[in-house]
Amino acid sequence: MAPARDRRTGFSRRRQYSTFFGYVLAVAGAVVGAALLVASVFNPPAFSAARMGVATLTAPVASVIDTLADAAASVPAAIGSWFRVHGENTALRAEVKRSRALLTAARTIAYDNRRLRALLAVRDRTPEAVATARLVGSTASSGRRFALLNAGRFQGVRPGMPVRGPNGLVGRVLETGPIAARVLLVTDPESLVPVRRTRDGMPAIAAGRGDGRVDIRSVNATNVRFATGDMFVTSGTGGLYAPGVPVAQVESAGADSVVAIPYAAPDSLDFALVERPFMPMPPSPPARPAAP
């Protein structure tokens, strides 16, 4: 049987009351909207006061709803953070354990080093500073690499003295004048600096390339592997440069000979420190007079 087309409320009280209150609310909403429209046009201050009053009443409710929404949205992020922090905590614990073992080994080596030095009566020498001066210029257009130092013989600067900057070794004094000195940079092709690798102490030679970089060459070994980022410092061999001064860092991995970037760039240096040689050669004994 087909449904009846008559959809009137009939004798249902609930449906009658629902329809009546729906009409009442629709009419009331239309009246309130019209009143607000008229107030906004003819009396803006009153409309603004009413709007702020409604905002004052609804602001706490909106704040509570916003807080609840943020709390609900933060639950998945908190769960993910818990798992991530748990993994990071495990990794950090393992790293601390490895670092503790390395620290223990380093302390043992330092203790043995001090004991052996005491047994052998090895004396450590700290190089003395001679002068602090400004680097006023450096060559960049030719194959040679020199820098001009604003200090000379009057300030105690002599040929052969090492020159270093805040970040590492710059070079050595080649020539001196009364108030200026010429510095041979570590990047010059004639510069050779004995160095060692910081992670294992492997000896090497830092030779200038003439293009702002240096070649790191292995000494007395073949098939030596260099890793990217290997750090090299002066070894103290030869007695000119004090040990432990940063020289260069390997640019890319290789074997036997690799290219490295010096730590001290003369173009970016304002001041440099001139030091005495680490272990200067003792003076020659005076010649004995010839026998009559």
Could you read off the pLDDT of 68-89 as tens digits, one per residue?
A: 777 777 777 777 777 777 778 8
* Whether residue 206 has pLDDT greater than 90: yes
Q: Quote the pTM value.
A: 0.56
- Identify how many contiguous H helices and E strands the chain contains and give both numbers: 2, 14
Task: Please give the Cα distance from 143 to 174 (Å, whole number).
Answer: 17
Q: What is the mean pLDDT of the chain?
A: 79
Whether residue 84 is contained in a domain is answered as yes
Whether residue 291 is contained in a domain is answered as no
State the CATH number of the domain containing residue 249. Answer: 2.40.10.340
Same domain, 236 and 207: yes
Task: Please give the Cα distance from 81 to 167 (Å, whole number).
Answer: 40
Burial of residue 153 (number of CB atoms within 10 Å: 0-12, 13-18, 19+): middle
Task: Please give the Cα distance from 108 to 102 (Å, whole number).
Answer: 10
Task: Give Cβ neighbours of residue 229 (< 8 Å, ≥ 6 apart).
Answer: 249, 250
Whether residue 7 is contained in a domain is answered as no
Same domain, 149 and 113: no
Task: Give Cβ neighbours of residue 163 (< 8 Å, ≥ 6 apart).
Answer: 149, 169, 170, 171, 172, 173, 183, 272, 273, 274, 275
Same domain, 115 and 146: no
Whether residue 283 is contained in a domain is answered as no
**Burial letters 203-232, b for 16+ CB under 10 A, else e:** ebbbbbbbeebbbbbbeeeeebebeeebbb
Same domain, 71 and 28: yes
* Whether residue 232 has pLDDT greater than 70: yes
Same domain, 74 and 50: yes
Same domain, 81 and 115: yes
Whether residue 244 is contained in a domain is answered as yes
- Tens of pLDDT, residues 173-204: 988 888 888 899 998 889 999 999 988 888 99
Whether residue 147 is contained in a domain is answered as yes
| Phi, psi dihedrals of residue 134, rounded to the nearest 5° | -95, 140
Task: Give Cβ neighbours of residue 186 (< 8 Å, ≥ 6 apart).
Answer: 169, 170, 171, 193, 206, 208, 214, 247, 248, 262, 264
Task: Please give the Cα distance from 55 to 159 (Å, whole number).
Answer: 83
Task: Please give the Cα distance from 167 to 98 (Å, whole number).
Answer: 29
Share of the chain above pLDDT 90, in %: 12
Same domain, 249 and 146: yes
Whether residue 198 is contained in a domain is answered as yes
Same domain, 112 and 143: no
Residue 73: both structure tokens together: 């949205």
Average pLDDT over residues 57-62: 67
Same domain, 47 and 151: no
Instruction: Please tell me which of 21-30, 119-128, 143-152, 232-241 the model is most confident about, judged by mean pLDDT.
Output: 232-241
Amino acid symbol at 175:
E
Number of domains in the chain: 2
Q: Which helix (H) or strand (E) holds 105?
A: helix 44-120
Whether residue 209 is contained in a domain is answered as yes
29-38, 49-58, 126-135 — which is least confidently predicted? Answer: 49-58
The domain boundary residue, chosen from 91, 106, 123: 123
Same domain, 23 and 118: yes
Same domain, 111 and 141: no
CA 141 vs. chain centroid, Å, equals 31
Same domain, 252 and 186: yes
- What domain range includes position 88? 16-123
